[in-house]
Amino acid sequence: MLWVDKYRPKSLDKVIVHEDIAQNLKKLVTEQDCPHLLFYGPSGSGKKTLIMALLKQIYGASAEKVKVENRAWKVDAGSRTIDLELTTLSSTNHVELTPSDAGFQDRYIVQEIIKEMAKNRPIDTKGKKGYKVLVLNEVDKLSREAQHSLRRTMEKYSSSCRLILCCNSSSKVTEAIKSRCLNVRINAPSQEEIVKVLEFVAKKESLQLPQGFAARIAEKSNRSLRRAILSLETCRVQNYPFTGNQVISPMDWEEYVAEIATDMMKEQSPKKLFQVRGKVYELLVNCIPPEVILKFMLSQRLLHELLKKLDSELKLEVCHWAAYYEHRMRLGQKAIFHIEAFVAKFMSIYKNFLISTFG
Amino acid sequence: MSDIRKWFMKAHEKGNASAPKSTSSKAGPARNAAETAPLKSEQASEDLETAARRKTSKFFGKDKTKVKDEKEVEEIPAKRKLKTDSDDLAKPRPRKVTKVVDDDDDDDFDVPISRKTRDSTPSKKLKSGSGRGIASKTVDNDEDDDGEDAQDKETPLKAAGRGRGGRAAPGASTGGRGRGGGRGGFMNFGERKDPPHKGEKEVPEGTPDCLAGLTFVISGTLDSLEREEAEDLIKRHGGRITGSVSKKTTYLLCDEDIGGRKSEKAKELGTKFLTEDGLFDMIRSSKPVKKSLPERTNKGTEKICAPPKTSPQKEETRGKPLAKSSPNKVPPAKGKKKIIETSLPWTEKYRPKVPNEIVGNQSLVTQLHNWLSHWHDQFGGTGSKGKGKKLNDAGAKKAVLLSGTPGIGKTTSAKLVSQMLGFQAVEVNASDSRGKANSNIAKGIGGSNANTVKELVNNEAMAANLDRSKHPKTVLIMDEVDGMSAGDRGGVADLIASIKISKIPIICICNDRYSQKLKSLVNYCLPLNYRKPTKQQMAKRLMHIAKAEGLEINEIALEELAERVNGDIRLALNQLQYMSLSMSAIKYDDIRQRLLSSAKDEDISPFTAVDKLFGYNGGKLRMDERIDLSMSDPDLVPLLIQENYLNYRPSGKDEAKRMDLLALAAESIADGDIINVQIRRYRQWQLSQSCCVASSILPASLLHGSREVLEQGERNFNRFGGWLGKNSTAGKNRRLMEDLHVHVLASRESSAGRETLRVDYLSLLLSRLTSPLQTLPKDEAVSEVVDFMNSYSISQEDFDTIMELGKFKGRENPLEGVPPPVKAALTKKYNEMNKTRMVRVADMVQLPGVKKAPKKRIAAMLEPTVDSLRDEDGEPLADNEEENGSDAEEDSEEATDGQKLESNLKNLNARGIQVELDLKGAGSSGSRKAAGKGRGRGKAADASAEKKATGRGSGAKRKR
């Protein structure tokens, strides 16, 4: 088993990072009814872990007994019926799913599953009517329609069904939903916290951590605890015992994106653009989400390189365009077009910049 | 109307001496062309005789008068020139300067010819003045010429040269207007090599018919013209182009002898070779010949344009000279009046009267004729006998089915043939209701048309009685049978029934024989498939009609027309009639221009469309043309554009600018994508034009130019859009990824999302799976990897998925360095472990009322050992029976296994999980099948399952 999963805190009491939030959550569910919750924060900060721990807190061990189901729905939408299929993870008391997998028909999923859950309410041991929990992942990727339809269903069935929403960025969740939930922001853990966790893992695995090695991993991890632990294990697999100056190798795709960024800095020509297109295709074919590509391309390399050239204005402009094209990418469908548009824009700006400064 | 025109012309002649030139040349050229030099001179003398031509002949009848006239001419344009030429002068002049060299050798070439042909009126001044005759296209430039001519009166020879130079300008400009081609070689960007001196030479303008009667074959790359341009040039001047060399070929046009098949054949046949320059010279040299002509015949031609060109008829007119020529003054006008009066469309007026007149498909007409004439021999007499005969004679059918594209004479031939054989034709077409006949015929025939048909078919006597005296026989023509649809319920079936019992012949006519509706009908009919007539056939007939209508048009133009209308002779006639309203002489260019748009209706492949959009003169296309091009395939064209826009180099832009343009284009393409989402997702189809502008037209207009190659060894053609392929690969990988994700989730060790799994987990998974294989000794490595796989429920397939996704182009394969024996050992070990592996399987929960069986893919996905399952699925029954037999034997073996499993199971059951047991051997296929199908086990499987259920206490669970 991977260390990430092995040392994942299973209960709210065992949480190391975000201890305060964990305690608050615990109070929330023990003392009173649980409201709808919206967890948001960057990836690798512990949202999922907290949610799972919270469920365990509410329902006890039965929350862990999940089964994977491939469920099919037949939704009657006016004149036609729509067949939908989705993988769900469910226990007796909760259902977890990623509605955005259903593409633009996600709103039917949201409506159907909540109705269905409301139909068979569980009765807890004391004979009191309990509630079920529906965990929705990637709410920020839900279409606007789905979010709107969620709004109503949330209220209508709130007596029998609680929602726990989970997403990276709350800005893509509509205000209406945000206001109906208790928003819980999960920060990315600080580097110190990550180091603490890494040392904890190392101790449990009885590994020798050289001085500063954990710190380096933490630094490389981009404040994602998950990635930190994963790369610790990667290092362990690659080379043990650790040496002080061991290379912390980036992810395979990170390397590849970095290569693209270097290409873009090196030469700005249609030919290069064509090569970049090929590489971006390669990444997309390998299931790397386009947003991740764009973001990494920008944050890790381009800005870094531009910083060396000491041009903050250009940096701003590039950031602006990256944001612009990322937004458009979500509006559109063919991600490659938008990434390519960004690359072309960057090349054009950068080339003009080079010509104007260096002649 | 034509009178007005006439009056108009006269007024012009009086008021402005330059006007007759334009009018005469409008009417003249088509006719001029057909005439050969001797004829012309002959006619010239004839002209002098004609009283009607007095007025005009003063221009050249004698030198004295001519000089006078010349002066008149000079004065007026000179004045005009002042007004209009301030800008005009600037344009043609510089061009002339560049052309001086050309002109010079032209002159050498010209002089002898012009002298020869102008024996009758050998005035040099005439020559200088004659410059006006041809350049009818733009009056301004014409006048310019005149002015110059006036200035250069003393040196006429030079003037001729100059005049020509000036004329080149209008020629060029009209060319640009007409074809978007321009005088240069900015033609389509095709596969053929570019002409080396593309657009560098001036394309000459000669008399419209100077190449008449000559046949050309073009081979290889020409010096300055694109192939299409050259064809156009030759056709415009009355020449004929064929694809391959034959005896009839006059010239083989080629600039470099590439030694292909054409040139070999030409050498064999002794065909003359002609270079592009030679062609130009030929065309140029035609000019002086023509120059003299329009002036000589100036008004006369206009008036006698009715007599057609073929020599016998000409003889006729010449035979009765004076008497006829004066009435002849008006014939075209009269002819036209007649048309207006009768107001009969030409299509009706010139509908063939006898079968021989039908254009093309003569053999089919004969076949139809034979069929109809023998019909009564075959099927006549008593109905039953006829039927019997029909059965015996498989070839004979009681009905025919004529099929073919519209306008090629199906209905006409059906009618004609029946008429000729004395049948009375009863035509029923789509405008009549042809639904299934009311079965109760007793209602009488007064009712629906369908009943009439039925009646007709049933009762020969009655049908014949309708008009017994004249037509003893009747034939039923069912027109447009493929149009039988909604309104005509059961139409075709009823028609078939009618055919079966029919006592009269039935002719069915349709456009598309392969239509689904007619599938059943075809079996009962003799199919006669009409083909499109060739353009020569059509041109011949059209020529005949044009002659009869007094329309001046040459054969090449008609052939072009025939080609453009795509075999539809009715359309061709309509077009011709329409054009005849506004002009009395139709030239090749007129037809081209008129039918330019209709030619677009043909299918264009997306590649051609993209070629055109990105081509050199992509910028000159009209907006509607561009929209047409990009709409030719609104899905593919944008993809092709996106794939290829990087390869185009917009002319006259430096690298930085090009990069800017690329960025703009890329953004526009992205815009197109966004709009496309709106269209598809929210069905905003009104946006489709914006989409096509954003995704195709804008990028193309920003970047059109020459295509260059970005990668070594790439062919310089537009690539097919890569997005489709990449997207489907990405989709496949996403599905595989989902499988892996589900397995990992099912292992209950991790609850990571799919994206996280890919972005964060995958590289570690990869190294956990591969690095032991690379470093550790074989057995140890294999068992470690298999353990790891088991802990996350990673199946062999998932293993491959991880390897596949970890692979990047240009990077080494993650499995590199793993020796094959290790791989084999891994597979073996994994399969071995299958025996005792417990796999958590995603449950198939069926919602009430939902009957959908899980898709095979998902079923397979939930199955850990798919390979073995598939093998066994092949013969499920046999397997199950075997199982029953072998169960007993294996029971003992299983006992030990079973105990272990039992404890495990209890453990799991306590945790409330559903578990499927996978045991290699006896029970495995039964239980697996259960998982695979989700429900409904075979009887045998059931039995075995129950047997084990007692042993393990898990039966109930498993049966669900």
pLDDT, one tens digit per residue, over B67-99 is: 444 444 444 444 444 444 444 444 444 444 444
pLDDT of B519 reads 79
User: In this structure, is residue B879 part of a structural domain?
Assistant: yes
Evaluate if residue B673 carries a pLDDT over 90.
yes
Higher pLDDT, B59 or A271: A271
Residue B214, CA distances (Å) to B264, B272, B284, B290, B544 in order: 20, 12, 16, 17, 22
| DSSP letter for each residue of B67-115 | HHHHHHHHHHHHHHHHHHHHHHTTTHHHHHHHTHHHHHHHHHHHHHHHH
* Residue B380 confidence (pLDDT): 58
- Looking at residue B662, what is its pLDDT? 92
Within this chain, do residues B544 and B516 fall inside the same structural domain, yes or no?
Answer: no
A307 and A337 co-located in one domain: yes
Distances (CA, A) of B755 to A324, B285, B761, B770, B843: 23, 76, 9, 22, 23
Radius of gyration (Cα) for chain A, nearest Å?
A: 23
Contact B580, B548 (CB under 8 A): no
> Which CATH number characterizes residue B461's domain?
3.40.50.300
Residue A345 pLDDT greater than 80, yes or no:
yes
Answer yes or no: do B28 and B165 share one domain: yes
* Full domain range(s) for residue B806: 739-836
Q: Is the dihedral of CA B900, B901, B904, B906 positive or negative?
A: negative
Helix/strand/coil percent split, chain B, to 5: 65, 5, 30
Residue B216 forms part of a structural domain: no
The DSSP secondary structure of B656-724, one letter per residue, reads HHHHHHHHHHHHHHHHHHHHHHHHHHH--GGGHHHHHIIIIIHHHHHH-EEE--SSTT--SSPPPPHHH
Q: Which two tokens stand for residue A336?
A: 């490659």
Instruction: Identify any residues that bridge with A167 across adjacent strands, giving them in sequence order.
Output: A40
Same domain (yes/no): B652, B790: no
Q: Is residue B206 part of a domain?
A: no
Q: Between chains, do A284 and B730 touch, taking CB under 8 Å as contact?
A: yes
Q: Give the range of the structural domain holding residue A75, as residue numbers without chain letter.
A: 3-185
* Highest mean pLDDT out of B49-58, B78-87, B286-295, B495-504: B495-504
Main-chain dihedrals φ then ψ at residue A81, nearest 5 degrees: -110, 140
Q: Compute the distance between CA of residue B211 and CA of residue B279 in angstroms, rounded to an integer.
A: 9
Confidence of residue A342 (pLDDT cuts 50, 70, 90): very high
Q: Provide mean pLDDT across the span B204-230.
A: 74
Quote the pLDDT of residue B936.
39
User: In chain A, which residue's Cα lies nearest the Cα of B791?
Assistant: A1
The residue ranking higher by pLDDT, B370 or B159, is: B370
Count the domains in chain A: 3
Here the CATH number for the domain that contains residue A27 is 3.40.50.300
The more confident residue out of A175 and B910 is A175
- Give the pLDDT score at A32: 67
Cα gap B713→B511, rounded to integer Å: 48
- Looking at the complex, report in whole angstroms how far the Cα of residue A240 sits from the nearest Cα belonging to chain B: 13
pLDDT value at residue A83: 83
Rounded CA separation B413/B436 (Å): 27
- The phi-psi region of residue A75 (left if phi > 0; otherwise alpha if psi is between -120 and 50; otherwise beta) is beta
Least confident of A249-258, B150-159, B547-556, B667-676: B150-159
Q: Which residues pair with A184 in a beta bridge?
A: A39
Largest CA distance in chain A: 81
Residue B201 φ/ψ region, left for φ over 0, alpha for ψ in the -120 to 50 degree band, beta for the rest: beta
* Weakest-pLDDT range from A20-29, A145-154, B175-184, B854-863: B175-184
pLDDT digits over A63-103, tens only?
888 888 888 888 877 777 888 888 888 888 888 888 887 77
Can you give A207-249 as a three-state secondary structure string?
A: CCCCCCHHHHHHHHCCCCHHHHHHHHHHHHHHCCCCCCCCCCC
Residues B819 and B862 in one domain: no
B198 closest CA partner among B227, B231, B170: B227
Q: What is the CATH number of the domain that holds A348?
A: 1.20.272.10
Phi, psi of B404, deg, nearest 5: 160, 170
Q: Are residues B17 and B165 in the same domain?
A: yes
pLDDT of residue B363: 85
**pLDDT category of residue B459 using cuts at 50, 70 and 90:** low
pLDDT at residue B147 is higher than 70:
no
Q: Please report, for residues A269, B648, B655, the alpha-carbon distance to residue A352 in angstroms, rounded to integers and kept in the order given.
A: 12, 20, 10
Q: Which residue of B has its CA nearest to A292?
A: B759
Which neighbouring-strand residues pair with B38?
none
- Does residue B871 have a pLDDT over 60? no
pLDDT at B109: 41
Let me know: does B290 contact B133? Beta carbons within 8 Å.
yes
How is residue B278 written in tokens? 């030679």
B901/chain A closest Cα distance in angstroms: 20
Pair (A45, A136) in one structural domain: yes
**Pair B405, B458 in one domain:** yes
From A283, A263, A282, select the one nearest A273 (Cα to Cα): A263
Distance between CA atoms of B834 and A135, rounded to whole angstroms? 34
DSSP B567: T
Q: What is the CATH number of the domain that holds B543?
A: 1.10.8.60
Same domain, A350 and A331: yes
Tell me phi and psi for residue B108, to 5 degrees: -55, -40
Angstrom distance (rounded) from CA B60 to CA B126? 8
pLDDT score for A112 = 80
> What interhelical angle do B623-631 and B606-614 show, nearest 10?
150
The CA distances from residue B24 to B119, B257, B294, B301, in Å, are: 22, 42, 6, 7
Interface test with B, best of A67, A169, A346 (most B CBs within 10 A): A67
pLDDT above 60 (res A19): yes
Average pLDDT estimate for B313-331: 39
Supply the mean pLDDT for chain B.
64
Instruction: Specify the pLDDT at position A338.
Output: 93
Residue B589 sits in the same domain as residue B714? no
Segment 183-202 of chain A within 8 Å of chain B by CB: none
Residues of B in contact with A332 (CB under 8 A): 670, 673-674, 676-677
Residues of B in contact with A292 (CB under 8 A): 755, 759
**pLDDT at B39 exceeding the cut of 60:** no
C-alpha neighbours within 13 Å on the C-beta side of residue B208 = 30
Answer for the pair B218, B274: CB distance below 8 angstroms, yes or no. no
C-beta atoms of B646 and A334 within 8 A: no
In a shared domain, residues A103 and A217:
no
Q: Are residues A89 and A179 in the same domain?
A: yes
Identify whether residues A208 and A132 lie together within a single domain. no
With respect to residue A244, please indicate whether it lies within any of the assigned structural domains.
Answer: no
pLDDT band at B534 (very low <50, low <70, confident <90, very high): confident
Give alpha helix (H) positions in B297-409: 298-303, 311-319, 321-325, 331-342, 346-349, 362-379, 383-392
Together in a domain, A76 and A179:
yes
Q: Across B849-922, where does the E strand assignment appear? A: 916-917
Count up the domains in chain B and report the number.
6
Query: Is the pTM of the predicted complex or chain greater than 0.95?
Result: no
As a whole number, mean pLDDT of residues B845-872 equals 42
Round the CA-based radius of gyration of chain B to a whole number and report it: 42
Structure tokens at B261: 């098949």
- Residue B210 inside a domain? The answer is no
- Which two three-digit tokens encode residue B831? 């399969």
A and B: number of Cβ contacts within 8 A? 227
Q: How far is B723 from chain A, CA to nearest CA, in Å?
A: 8
Last residue of a domain, one of B599, B628, B653: B599
Q: For residues B161 and B910, what is the distance between their CA atoms, to the nearest angstrom?
A: 109
Tell me: pLDDT of B185 over 90.
no
In a domain, B731, yes or no: no
CA-wise closest residue to A161 among A59, A67, A36: A36
Beta bridge partners of B402: B509, B528
Q: Which of B505, B529, B553 is the last residue of a domain?
A: B529
Chain B: closest CA distance from residue A273 (Å): 8
Decide which of B108 and A41 is more confident.
A41
Amino acid at A302: L
Q: Which residue has the tokens 């890919």?
A: B758
**Residue A181 sits in the same domain as residue A273:** no
Domain assignment present for B253: no
Query: For position B436, what pLDDT does the model report?
Result: 52
Strands B525-529 and B399-403: parallel
- CATH number for the domain harbouring residue B694: 1.20.272.10
Q: Is residue A243 part of a domain?
A: no
Q: Are residues A181 and A327 in the same domain?
A: no
Given CB atoms, is A120 within the 8 Å cutoff of chain B? no
Query: Residue A213: which region, alpha, beta or left (left: phi > 0; alpha: psi -120 to 50)?
Result: alpha
Q: Which of B529, B561, B581 marks a domain boundary?
A: B529
Helix runs in chain A, H state only: 3-6, 19-31, 47-59, 106-119, 144-156, 175-180, 191-204, 213-220, 225-238, 252-266, 270-285, 290-296, 303-309, 312-331, 335-358
Confidence of residue B675 (pLDDT cuts 50, 70, 90): very high
Contacts of B392 by beta carbon, 8 Å cutoff, 6+ apart: none
Q: Does A332 touch chain B (CB under 8 A)?
A: yes
> Are residues B39 and B140 part of one domain?
yes
- Gap between the Cα atoms of B692 and B687, Å rounded: 9
For A30-61, write each residue's pLDDT tens digit: 876 788 899 999 888 888 889 988 888 888 88
pLDDT score at B599:
52
Q: Which of A285, A321, A339 to mutate to test the interface with B (most CBs of B within 10 A)?
A: A285
* CA separation for the pair B870, B879 (Å, rounded): 12
Is the same domain home to B128 and B13?
A: yes
A167 and A25 in one domain? Answer: yes
Q: What is the pLDDT of residue A343?
A: 92
Same domain? For A105 and A9 the reply is: yes
What pLDDT, on a 0 to 100 scale, did the predictor assign at position B930? 39
pLDDT at position B153 is 43
In terms of Cβ atoms closer than 10 Å to its own Cβ (0-12, 13-18, 19+), residue A240 is exposed
Q: pLDDT digit string (tens) for B873-900?
A: 434 434 444 444 444 444 444 444 444 4
Provide the pLDDT confidence category of residue B667 given band limits of 50, 70 and 90.
very high
Structural domain contains residue B250? no
ipTM of the complex: 0.89
* Residues B927, B912 contacting (CB under 8 angstroms): no
Q: Is the peptide bond before A289 cis (omega within 30 degrees of 0)?
A: no
Mark whether A161 and A196 lie in a shared domain.
Answer: no
* Whole-number Cα distances in Å, B149 to B68, B121, B124, B165: 15, 18, 12, 12
pLDDT tier at A325 (50, 70, 90 boundaries)?
Answer: very high
Instruction: Specify if B845 maps to a domain.
Output: no
Question: Which of B 707-736 lie inside 8 A of A, CB atoms?
Answer: 710-711, 722-723, 726-727, 729-730, 733-734
Q: Are residues B591 and B617 in the same domain?
A: no
Interchain CB distance below 8 Å, A271 and B755: no
Question: Pairing mode, if any, of strands A80-90 and A67-77?
Answer: antiparallel
Flag whether residue A103 sits within 8 Å of chain B, measured between CB atoms: no
- Any domain includes A354: yes
Same domain for B568 and B700: no
Assess whether pLDDT exceeds 60 at residue B342.
Answer: no
DSSP at B138: -
One domain, residues B348 and B369: no
Q: Which of A156, A185, A214 is the last residue of a domain?
A: A185
pLDDT at position B694:
92
Q: Is residue A230 part of a domain?
A: yes
What percent of chain B is predicted at pLDDT more than 70? 51
What is the distance between the alpha carbons of residues B495 and B456, in angstroms, rounded to a whole number? 12
pLDDT, residue B200, reads 65
